Structures are given as C-alpha cells and as structure tokens.
Structure 1
Amino acid sequence: MNRAGALKHTRKIIFLLFIGNLFSAFDRFVINFGVVQISEEFQLSASASGLILSIFFLGYAIMQIPGGWLSDRFGEKIVLFISIVGFSIFTGLTAIAWSFSSLLVIRFLFGLAEGSFFPAGSKLISTSIEENKRSRAMSVFLSALTVAGVIAPILTTTMLVQFGWRTMFLIIGMIGLFIAVLYWVFLKPNILKQRVENNNFITRQGELPAKGNIKVLLRTHMIWSLMIASFGYGFISWGISSWMPTYLVNERGISLSSLGILQMIPAVSGIIFFLIAGAVMDKVKSGQEKWFGAFSGIALAITVYLMFHASSITGVIIFQSLIPVFSAFLSVIIYSLPIKRLPEETSGSAVGLVNLGAQIAGFAAPVGMGLIIDFFNGSYNGVVWLLSAFGILIFLAFLSLQSSKKRLIIPELARGVSDR
C-alpha cells in the first residue's frame, strides 16, 4: 500500500473507532438522564437509583481483562463486532424492563457486552497506528466520550419528553445494530500492522512475545500506577456524570429541558481539550508524562470542590467546564502509555487491566455516592470531599509512576513465557 493509501486507511480506522466509541458512550450516558423518569416509575430511593447507574460498570469491569485477552488472542475486529451487537441488543431490551430487578439484570448484561469494546479499540490503535501518533489517535478515540456528552443531554432529554424512556432505549438499540454492520463491512484492522516494532522483542530463538500475558503484566510497576490513577479518575468522572443531572434538577432547580442545554457546555470544552491533550502528549519528552498527570489530579480535586460550592448555576457550569481540561490529559496519559511503552502483542490486555480500575470505580461511584447522599439526608457535602480525595489519589499514583524513556522490554515476555 502506498503512503496515500495507508493514510486513508488509517483515517478510516480512526473514524470507525470514533463512531463506535461515540455510540458506546452515548449508550451508557442516556441512563443518567433516563433514571429521572425510571426512578419515578419504579419509586426508587437515591440508593436504588445509584445501583441502577452502577450495575452497568460491574459487568463492564468484569470484561476488561477477558476483553483485552480476547483481542490479543483472536483479533480486534471480531471482538469489536460482537461487543457492539451485544450491547445494542441489551440496550433495546432495557425498554421492556418490568421491575427494578429486571432492570438491574439487563443493565448488568449490557455492561458485560460493552466491556470488550475499549480494550479491543485500544489494541487496534496499537497495531494500526505509528507509535509517535498513538496519543493523538487515542485522544480522538477518547474524545468520542465528550462528543457523546454534547449530544446525549439534548437528544436524551428530547426523546424522554417526546417518547418516554422505554421507546428511547429501543431506538438507540436499533442504531447500534446498524453501526455493527458498518464495522463488519469496512473495518480492516491488519493492513497497517506495525511489524517493525516487533523486532525489539524477538527472542534468540526468533519467537515473538507471548500474547496477553496477564500474570507478567501484573508484575509491571507502570500497570499498577496507571490502574490506581485510572480508579481515581474513573470515580470522579463517572460519579459526576452519573449524579450531576439529578443534582442540578433537585438541588439547583433546573428543569429537564434546560438541563440538556446546560450540560452541552462542559462537553464542548471536553472535545477541544481531548484533541489538544493528544497533540501535546505525543510531543512531550518520554518519561515526563507523570508530571502532567500529577498536576491534573490536584487541579481536578480543586475544581470539583469549587464546582459544588459555586454560589450560582453559572458558577457551577463554569467549573464543570474546566473539569474536562484536566480529565482530557489524564485520559490520554493513562490509556496511551500502555500502547506506547509495552509490546503491542500485550496492548489489549494491558489497556484492559488499566481500564479495570476506572470501571470498578464506575461501579462504586454512583452507588457509593447515592449511599452517602442518603446518609447525609440528601446533602451532597459528603460526596464533595470524597471526590476531591480521589484527585489527591491520582496525584500520588502519578508521582509513583516509573515511566521509562524507552519502550519497555518485559524479560518474561521477551523469552516467550506464557501463563496460558
């Protein structure tokens, strides 16, 4: 393939990843708005509503390591396709939930189905994009979450008002099946595989590193530092996205229709800063990423505190719009380091391990915050301090990060050791 053809193919891969992640993020965001009507219909407490928001992340977290391993073992395309088909089906099935218990089961299975998508997508970036462009590719991939944050509030609140939550979930599920067809027809993941990098890991016997060696990766210090940072970031991110709609409606008196418009503002700032973060981190000297991450953790803690203590709605939205500035750098650093510093044969498993921290936090944050809100009789004071504390945890995790200035060579992998 000539250079022009290779560039075109690379752009197609990034576009498909963006569209898939956009839908994936949108699909999980809608419950944050739909839970307002769902809670009314099923007469749910704050704790029960928090469990509805959290249960997805339990299933999602469970599939991070298996999803990464499956991508390393069987290839990215099939894992991406099956994941999209699966979570689209369970999105549609959400529309027929007849009780609190049935909704919990469906949302859990939805999380299981979607859990493989991000590790497989990250694996695709690792095997299809040049190393010095992977942070930018990852930033585009991740920016889909913030684009979803722009369109989800207005589209979701409009559909909720016009159709109700059941019809909304049915429509979204049908769209997902269409996107799965696009992946199956147009995604060609292996054409641009960067085989030159493999030369760094060929053993004396000419063997390539073992694929998806989870046991060996768990002995890598960088993985643990990034998992802890991922947990702190995930708790803040999913805690805020899960409870901000309810907080603004119940505590700040915002109407459901106004909520959709106001929540577009922070999301727009997120799109811009994700793209900036990717470009910056590809140019930062290798080994210096930890300082960007540490600073972003502290800044995030301060911004969250100021947001909840703002005296006006305008102040809340201003500080909420600053959160994506630091979140963008954290996301790009956390998820691009494994695919830039570790062998590409392990990239799916490595990203799955790192993302496991964020998804465990995604389960813990909504239900934990709901319990704290109930404990403080509806007050959000307790969750403010909790969220700020996780910003400090991110700071400490990055201080402990030992990011090599060169691509890491894991001795066990270089010898072809496998835990299978």
Structure 2
Amino acid sequence: MNSKRNRNLVLALLFLGWALGNLDRYIMNYAVLSITEDLQLSPSSTGLLLSSFFAGYAIMQMPGGWLADRFGPRKVLIASVILWSIFTGLTGAAWSLASMVVIRFLFGIGEGGFQPSSSKIISLSFPKEERGRAMSVMLSSSGIVALIIPILSAALLTTIGWRTTFIIMGAAGAIIAVLYWFYIKLPESNTTVRTGQTNVSGEKGIFGSLFRTPMVWNLVVAYFCIYAVNWGLATWIPTYLVQNRGLDLISIGWVQTIPGITMLAGIYLGGYIIDKLSNGRDRLAGGISCALIGILLFLMFTATSVTMFIVYQTIVNLFIAFVVTLLPSIILKQLPSSVTGTAMGIANTGGQLAGFITPMAIGFIVDAFNGSFNAAFWMLIVFSVICIVAILTIRDKKEDLLEKASA
C-alpha cells in the first residue's frame, strides 16, 4: 500500500478527474439549449445528441475493466483522460449534428475506461478498511457537480459561449492527465502480471455464472430503470423549464441548485441508512422509494406553478439518490467478493444503456406529441414501477453463485 500521504494525494486527484468528467456530462444538458439553436436541431435530434455519449460510455464499461486488469489501471486511466479531453475540446468545434454525435460518442468511449481503472487504483492504493470511505468520496463528486453546475453553466454559457466552454474543459482534462502521469504511481508490473495469470483463464466462467444468476438480471433491470429516471430528468429538465415553464437560463441555474443539494444529501444519508438496515429491509426501502418516485413524477408534470414543480423535483432527487446508493450496496453485500467487480460492470452497463436510450426516447416522444412532455413523464413513471418489481423480487443467491463459479 502507498503511504497515507500518497493515498490522500491519489484520492484527491481521482476526485478531481471524476468531478471534471461529471462536469462535462452535466453541462451538456444546459449547453444543448444553445447548441439546438445554433445547429437548428429538432427535439428528436437533440435527444440523439444527448444519448450519443452514453452509447460509447456503456460500450466501454466491461472492456474498460478488462483493460485495467490486463494492462494496468494507471495506463488505462491516463489514456482515458487524454482521449476524453481531446473529444471534449472537439465538441466546441462541431459543425453539424452528425459531427457532434460522433464526437460525443467517442468522448463516451474515452471516459468509459475511467471508472473501472480508478476503482482498481483505489483497491490497490487503500487497505480494505478505507476503501469504502474512498469510494464514497468518489460518489460524492457527482452530487457536488450537480449542485454547482446550474449556476456555473449559466455563467459560462452566457458569457463565453458553449464552444469556448468545451475547449477550456478539454484543456483542463489535459492538465489532469499530466498530473496523473507525474503523481499517480503504482506497482504496475507485479499487479498486472499476477492479475493476467490468475483471472483471464476463469473470465468466461465468471461471466457465465453471473449471467445465469437471476439476481444479476434483477440488478441490471433496476439499474436501467432508476438511471432512466435520473438521466431522463437531468438531460431534459433545462429544456422543459425553458419551453414549457417559461424560465430563462439564469433562472434555471439558480432554481436547480435546490434539487442538487438534496441529491448530495441523499447520497450521504442513503449510505448511512442502508448500513443500518438488515437484508430484506433495505430492498423494501428501495421499493417504497421507487413508488414515491413515481408519485412525485406525476405531481411534477401536473404542478400548476414552477415553485411546486421544483419542490417535487427536490424531493424526488432525494429518493433517486437513495436507490442509486442502494443498488451497488446490494452487490457488495449479496455477491461473493471475487465477482463483485465484474458484477458491478454488468449492472452498471444497464444504467448507462438507460442514459443512452432515455434522452433519445424523450426527444422522439416530445416530437410525436407536438412539444408536450406529458407522455415522457408517464414513461419515467412506468420505469419507476418496473424498478419496484426488480428490487422487491431480488433473492439472496450468494451460495448458488459460489457453487456455479466452482463448477
């Protein structure tokens, strides 16, 4: 293990990288208002643009983990940051819908290797008793970015414009890659060789046993559904508030900080509550949360004022954060530690596929209903109902999985 000082430096640098990656994802949801106008995009085209990142990101989830195991996480981490920085900068140079979709897809490919490689670096740098804390710091980066991004994006996009904003963010990523090169050092040769010798031969057996386990498919469905709700709201709420509620970008920036605060609070509070709940009760809490998400979504789009819309959105973010925190904890508690990494990659693929499909689907729905978002909200409500079923029907299968893996 690294010294405590080096571990804290590694954690700070990884947090910085995760925060920048989340910043790019979230700022696109606001920049798309100007991009749509500049490139003259329809709602369907806008949905395709918003989804293109998630296509590349989902594709790279499992290969990214394998590359980190095979060639070492430091190499994959640096390559990932370099690639995403290039395509983030190129976003500012896009001249058409086709060029923008290709650039964002390749950006997703680049960023797809960051999460598995950074997670592996944490496992190599930190002792077991500190890994949970380190991962919670990583998860909090998305909540912090969601909190500051409405105001930050409004300030940037109304002063320097979306093109310059993405170019600056690409340059920031290049700086982070340089910091990783100089300051993140791991015993790469030993860990890479050892990993390659012990794990590759059993790779097909691990994937096969996981794919034959019903719990894994429950988790894939639950991940898909909760992230469909999460990214459906995150990607389209700015556009919805402008087109259907009459707000301007500055006003949106301020009012969206309130749901951002509850998302961050939900992550920390959810982790505390989940640790206190026994097996079974945690899933019951997850099912109840999904039911409340569906009810609150209905109240959101039927709200008669912007104030009540934001109130309901604030509360729904609290329950979304709880479910998003619950699902990985189920993997860590219910599956053997030898397969949790692979299982996390499979389950998270479901979540990222939701990020690809949902924004695009909402765009087509809004086009089909002449600018109305009502049907899109109903789609998200259906996803919340399916998530209830997926979570409540999860059964403890740890022993069965162990038997299949050893067969």
Larger mean Cα displacement after TM superposition, 140-149 or 40-49: 140-149
User: Is the 2:287–2:391 Cα contact (8 Å) retained in structure 1?
Assistant: yes
Between the aligned partners of 2:339 and 2:71, the Cα distance in structure 1 is 12
Between the aligned partners of 2:124 and 2:329, the Cα distance in structure 1 is 13
Give percent identity, aligned residues only.
Answer: 42
Displacement of 1:190: 6.8
Task: Specify the alignment match of 1:167 in structure 2.
Answer: 164
Between the aligned partners of 1:119 and 1:77, the Cα distance in structure 2 is 11
Q: Are 1:380 and 2:377 counterparts?
A: no
Task: Specify the alignment match of 1:68 in structure 2.
Answer: 65
Q: Give a deviation string over 1:395-417, Cα, whole Å, max 9, x none.
A: 1111121245x7986235446xx
| Residues 388 and 29 of structure 1, relative CA distance in 2, 3 Å threshold | same
Task: Specify the alignment match of 1:319 in structure 2.
Answer: 312
Displacement of 1:75: 3.6
Between the aligned partners of 1:334 and 1:190, the Cα distance in structure 2 is 32
Between the aligned partners of 2:346 and 2:282, the Cα distance in structure 1 is 19
Q: Are 1:57 and 2:54 counterparts?
A: yes
Q: Give a deviation string over 1:147-187, Cα, whole Å, max 9, x none.
A: 11122221222111111111110001111122223333333
State the number of aligned residues: 399
Partner amino acid for 2:299?
L
Task: Specify the alignment match of 2:116 in structure 1.
Answer: 119
Q: Equivalences for 1:394-405 in 2 at 5 Å? A: 394-403=387-396
Q: Are 1:48 and 2:37 counterparts?
A: no
Displacement of 1:112: 0.9
Q: Are 1:337 and 2:330 counterparts?
A: yes
Q: Aligned Cα RMSD in Å?
A: 2.8
| Residues 307 and 135 of structure 1, relative CA distance in 2, 3 Å threshold | farther
Between the aligned partners of 1:66 and 1:301, the Cα distance in structure 2 is 34
| Residues 315 and 160 of structure 1, relative CA distance in 2, 3 Å threshold | same
User: Is the 2:210–2:401 Cα contact (8 Å) retained in structure 1?
Assistant: no
The one of 368, 374, 380 equivalent to 2:361 is 368
User: Is the 2:242–2:249 Cα contact (8 Å) retained in structure 1?
Assistant: yes
Displacement of 1:283: 3.4
Displacement of 1:20: 2.1
Q: Are 1:179 and 2:176 counterparts?
A: yes
Partner amino acid for 2:138?
F
Name the SS of the counterpart of 2:94 in structure 1: coil
User: Is the 1:211–1:345 Cα contact (8 Å) retained in structure 2?
Assistant: no
Task: Specify the alignment match of 2:148 in structure 1.
Answer: 151
User: Is the 1:65–1:349 Cα contact (8 Å) retained in structure 2?
Assistant: yes
Which structure carries more helix by proportion? 2
Larger mean Cα displacement after TM superposition, 172-181 or 122-131: 122-131
Q: TM-score, normalised by structure 2?
A: 0.89
Q: Equivalences for 1:79-98 in 2 at 5 Å? A: 79-98=76-95
Task: Specify the alignment match of 1:410 in structure 2.
Answer: 402
Between the aligned partners of 2:115 and 2:400, the Cα distance in structure 1 is 22
| Residues 397 and 374 of structure 1, relative CA distance in 2, 3 Å threshold | same
Displacement of 1:335: 2.3
| Residues 95 and 292 of structure 1, relative CA distance in 2, 3 Å threshold | same
Between the aligned partners of 2:366 and 2:386, the Cα distance in structure 1 is 22
Larger mean Cα displacement after TM superposition, 275-284 or 310-319: 275-284
Between the aligned partners of 2:126 and 2:203, the Cα distance in structure 1 is 19
Task: Specify the alignment match of 1:22 in structure 2.
Answer: 19
Q: Give a deviation string over 1:281-302, Cα, whole Å, max 9, x none.
A: 2333345432222122112111
Name the SS of the counterpart of 1:410 in structure 2: helix
Q: Give a deviation string over 1:364-418, Cα, whole Å, max 9, x none.
A: 11110011111111111101111111111111111121245x7986235446xxx
Q: Give a deviation string over 1:89-141, Cα, whole Å, max 9, x none.
A: 10001111111111111011011111122233344455556667665544432
User: Is the 1:266–1:322 Cα contact (8 Å) retained in structure 2?
Assistant: yes
User: Is the 2:293–2:316 Cα contact (8 Å) retained in structure 1?
Assistant: yes
Q: Give a deviation string over 1:16-54, Cα, whole Å, max 9, x none.
A: 433222111111111111111111111111111111101
| Residues 144 and 320 of structure 1, relative CA distance in 2, 3 Å threshold | same
| Residues 272 and 354 of structure 1, relative CA distance in 2, 3 Å threshold | same
Between the aligned partners of 2:318 and 2:288, the Cα distance in structure 1 is 12
Displacement of 1:237: 0.6
| Residues 178 and 325 of structure 1, relative CA distance in 2, 3 Å threshold | same
Task: Specify the alignment match of 1:220 in structure 2.
Answer: 213
Larger mean Cα displacement after TM superposition, 153-162 or 89-98: 153-162
Partner amino acid for 1:312?
S
User: Is the 1:122–1:348 Cα contact (8 Å) retained in structure 2?
Assistant: no
Q: Equivalences for 1:97-112 in 2 at 5 Å? A: 97-112=94-109
Displacement of 1:9: 5.4
Between the aligned partners of 1:58 and 1:115, the Cα distance in structure 2 is 10
Larger mean Cα displacement after TM superposition, 406-415 or 45-54: 406-415
